[in-house]
């Protein structure tokens, strides 16, 4: 079983739609969680950290459910530029990062 699991997608949504991704993790001792965005043939870039209380950054909202061991990312009012692969990451033992395989999002006009 993978440490972090994501639905690979692709999620094909029209501009302006709201889309949500979930990610589950297996190690209950994981300390921190992040969402990264990766464009084709580019390096991953930090989108946002995920806090226990949930956090919002503009159109993006991240939530953590420790009881069920999942993380979510909600994107509101999707833009064409949001098209990318979104990686879920769990940090364990301060130095061990587990990456999900990524969820591909295609926002269409």
- Using CB under 8 A as the criterion, which residues of the chain lie in contact with another protein when the complex forms? 31-32, 34, 36, 41-46, 49, 87, 89, 91, 94-95, 97, 99-102
Distance from C-alpha of 109 to C-alpha of 105, rounded to nearest angstrom: 13
For another protein, which is the closer residue by CB, 10 or 16?
A: 10
Q: How far apart are CA 67 and CA 75, in angstroms?
A: 23
Question: Is the Cα torsion angle 58, 18, 80, 65 positive or negative in sign?
Answer: positive
Could you give the CA distance from residue 98 to residue 70 in angstroms, rounded to a whole number? 14
The residues that bridge with 108 in the sheet, in sequence order, are 14
Q: Closest distance between another protein and the C-beta of residue 101, in Å?
A: 4
Least separation in angstroms between CB 55 and another protein: 11
Residue (14 or 58) nearer to another protein, CB: 58
Q: Which is nearer to another protein, 18 or 31 (CB)?
A: 31
Q: Judged by CB, which is closer to another protein: 79, or 96? A: 96
Compute the least distance from the CB of residue 89 to another protein, in Å. 7
What does residue 80 show for φ and ψ, rounded to 5 degrees? Answer: -55, -35
């Amino acid at each position: 079983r993978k440490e972090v699991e994501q639905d690979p997608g692709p999620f094909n949504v029209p501009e302006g739609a709201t889309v949500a991704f979930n990610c589950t993790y297996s190690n209950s001792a994981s300390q921190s969680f992040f969402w990264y965005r990766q464009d084709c043939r580019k390096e991953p870039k930090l989108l946002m950290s995920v806090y226990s209380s949930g956090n919002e950054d503009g159109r993006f909202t991240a939530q953590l459910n420790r009881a069920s061991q999942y993380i979510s990312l909600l994107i509101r009012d999707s833009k064409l530029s949001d098209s990318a692969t979104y990686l879920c990451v769990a940090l364990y033992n301060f130095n061990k990062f587990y990456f999900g395989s990524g969820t591909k999002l295609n926002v269409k006009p």
